Amino acid sequence: MKAVVLGGDGGIGRLLAAALQTEGHEILTTTRRAGSLAAGQLRLDLADPGVAAMPLPAADVVYFCAALARFADCRAHADLARTVNVVAPAVLARRWTAEGARVVFLSTSAVFDGREPQRSAASPVSPRSLYGRLKAEAESAFLALGASAAVLRLTKLLLPDMPLFSGWIAALGRGETIEAFSDLSIAPVAPQHMVQALLAVAADREGGIYQLSGAHDISYLAAARYLAERIGLPASHVAPRRAIDGGIPAEEILTFTALDAARLAALTGMAAPDPYAVIDAVYGPALDAARRRRAG
């Protein structure tokens, strides 16, 4: 299989490309960064006005992992965010599907308003943030392409080098007190869940929406206190803080993010993971090392 991974030098793209390569597929990744290109890499900047007309490599499947993903960046650069997250992907998806490729668009639980848990793929979208609205708009463009296009909605993906969690672990390992939002929720998944889902969706050859989610939501406060517990510190080392006091706009504070992942579970046999098991899977080695250092 020939696969193209847009945003192949990002956190998700790197993991996906490595998995595809391990399975023996022919891989081409894209980067927007200037400089010399590595083997199997193509320069493609979704913000470039000329990207819609650029020659496209042949592909069996194209994964759209590139995006302007930080909520604050979308707010600060709304026009750029729409170009990168909606306009350019939609144009490229139409061109690739016209040439016989399957396209898989990576979306988000932020297409919902966060007022109810376990939203199904069939639920009407109700985004509150600009990022969520742009992703919902892009979903519509991809879904209009029929069975050649699939959308994978994803809840919070935890990565080992994520600054927030790795910073918390480092601070707690030094015995410091940290703060975490008590009113902002995540339903985390691990890298292996994301990779398995993307590979399965591409192989399924059906269109529509798939959802990948943790089993239920936990607050950032609960997650941080679990880190403290694993390191051997009391919960008092994690102080609660309201998200709005941390500069998060009210429309971006979601009470629920967990999604109904029944379709994906039927396809892969992968049950929605427990949030604390995800934390252990991603940060277990770092937590164990911090606990050993504290034990002396």
Give the bridge partners for 31, in sequence order.
43
| Alpha helices by DSSP H, 160-274 | 163-173, 191-204, 220-231, 262-268
For position 12, what pLDDT does the model report?
93
For position 296, what pLDDT does the model report?
76
CB 277, CB 225: distance < 8 Å: no
Rounded Cα gap, residues 29 and 23, in angstroms:
16
Give the bridge partners for 259, in sequence order.
119
For position 263, what pLDDT does the model report?
97
Closest CA to 63 of 195, 179, 192, 165: 195
Give the contacts of 270 (CB within 8 A, at least 6 positions apart).
193, 196, 197, 264
Record the pTM: 0.95
Rounded Cα gap, residues 53 and 58, in angstroms:
15
Closest CA to 64 of 89, 98, 94, 32: 89
**Helix then strand then coil, % of the chain, to nearest 5:** 45, 20, 35
Task: Give the HSE-up count for residue 12: Cα atoms under 13 Å, Cβ half-sphere.
Answer: 26
Query: How does DSSP assign 86-144, residue by residue?
Result: IIHHHHHHHHHHHTT-EEEEEEEGGGS-SSSSSB-TTSPP---SHHHHHHHHHHHHHHT
Rounded Cα gap, residues 23 and 237, in angstroms:
44
Rounded Cα gap, residues 169 and 290, in angstroms:
7
Place of tokens 């009391």: 234
pLDDT per residue as tens, the chain (296 positions): 999 999 998 899 999 999 999 999 999 999 988 776 888 889 999 999 999 899 999 999 999 999 999 999 999 999 999 999 999 999 999 999 999 999 999 999 999 999 999 999 999 999 999 999 999 999 999 999 999 999 999 999 999 999 999 999 999 999 999 999 999 999 999 999 999 999 999 999 899 999 999 999 999 999 999 999 999 999 999 999 999 999 999 999 999 999 999 999 999 999 999 999 999 999 999 999 999 998 87
Place of tokens 């992703």: 135
